[in-house]
Amino acid sequence: NAGVTQTPKFQVLKTGQSMTLQCAQDMNHEYMSWYRQDPGMGLRLIHYSVGAGITDQGEVPNGYNVSRSTTEDFPLRLLSAAPSQTSVYFCASSYQRLSAYEQYFGPGTRLTVT
Amino acid sequence: RKEVEQDPGPFNVPEGATVAFNCTYSNSASQSFFWYRQDCRKEPKLLMSVYSSGNEDGRFTAQLNRASQYISLLIRDSKLSDSATYLCVVNMDNAGNMLTFGGGTRLMVKP
């Protein structure tokens, strides 16, 4: 079991470039989420999905898109990178609703936008 | 005011010490509470859930005080390996779809 995997581990973008952060899980979890973590801010929810074909916005969705075409994959797209999007991005999955089930996190992607 | 607040620390304690962290939350209707642990430059991992009656897992004890809207984590007999950041996490929405994280409390256990 690989758990939750994320690629790439590190990425440097120029302002205005777009890219997709990949996330996959092999635990057949229904719930998947994307967070960003900035110093002193804690993790903030960007987007989440409660199942294939269903996504919703979290606390800080602007500048990001998601889709969930399969149970396993939940990619995060940065449409036009900005320096404010420099952060560590974590993908997470959970068997079902987060109030009752543990969230498993991927190792993170460290993104720098110059 | 942040929805989930923690003292960022660091808490510097000697091995064997007992240390306690508190976390306050703003939504009185919150139903689910957790402590996650995050090592430096790693992903968060669940340490323990926090139940209304309080719960214990080895050297770790978690308590919930609904009246004052805070949860606590007590670590007894601190080990060097306990050095990490401890994240307070609260489920704020009724559907159970979203978790709100505190900024974390950093613990450093010294020999």
User: Of B95, B34, B3, which Cα lies nearest the Cα of A31?
Assistant: B95
CB-CB under 8 Å, B97 with A48: yes
Query: What is the layout of strands, in order, in the sheet containing B70-75?
Result: B4-6, B19-25, B70-75, B60-65, B55-57
- Give yes or no for a contact between A66 and A55, defined as CB atoms under 8 angstroms apart: yes
| A10 close contact with B: CB closer than 8 A | no
Q: Does residue B104 belong to the interface with chain A, where contact is any CB pair within 8 Å?
A: yes
Contacts of B90 by beta carbon, 8 Å cutoff, 6+ apart? B3, B4, B25, B27, B30, B32, B33, B34, B71, B99, B100, B102
Which of B4, B39, B43, B45 should be substituted to probe chain A, the one whose Cβ sees the most A Cβ atoms within 10 Å? B43
Q: Give me the percent of chain A exceeding a pLDDT of 90.
A: 88
- The pLDDT value recorded for residue B95 is 75
pLDDT at B74: 98
How confident is residue B1, by pLDDT bands cut at 50, 70 and 90? low
Looking at every residue in chain A, the average pLDDT score rounds to: 94
pLDDT above 70 as % of chain B: 99
Is pLDDT above 90 for A54? yes
Q: How far does B104 lie from chain A, in Å, by closest CA?
A: 7
Cross-chain Cβ contact A98/B43 below 8 Å: no
Cα-flanking dihedrals φ and ψ of residue B32, to 5°?
-125, 140
| Euclidean distance between CA atoms A96 and B17, whole angstroms | 37
- Is the confidence at residue A100, as pLDDT, over 90? no
| Amino acid letter, A63 | G
Residue A1 reports pLDDT greater than 90 = no
Instruction: Output the pLDDT for position A47.
Output: 96
Confirm or reject contact between A2 and chain B (CB < 8 A): no
Quote the strand ranges of B51-93, DSSP E. 55-57, 60-65, 70-75, 84-91
Q: How far is B103 from B1, CA to CA, in rounded Å? A: 13
Please give the residue of chain B at the shortest CA–CA distance from A106. Answer: B43
Cβ of A105 within 8 Å of Cβ of B43? The answer is: yes
Question: Which of A31, A42, A102 has the CB atom closest to B102's CB atom?
Answer: A42
Structure tokens that stand for B101 in this block: 């994280």
For B66-106, write each residue's pLDDT tens digit: 999 999 999 999 999 999 999 999 987 777 778 899 999 99
Residues B9-45: tens digit of each pLDDT: 999 999 999 999 999 999 888 889 999 999 999 999 9
The mean-pLDDT minimum among A9-13, A37-41, A95-99 falls in A95-99
pLDDT in tens, B37-76: 999 999 999 999 998 888 999 999 999 999 999 999 999 9
If pLDDT is split at 50, 70 and 90, which confidence band does A12 have? very high
Q: What is the Rg, in whole angstroms, of the alpha carbon atoms belonging to chain A? A: 13
What pLDDT shows up at residue B98? 84
β-strand pairing of B84-91 with B4-6: unpaired
Report whether B19 contacts B75 (CB < 8 A): yes
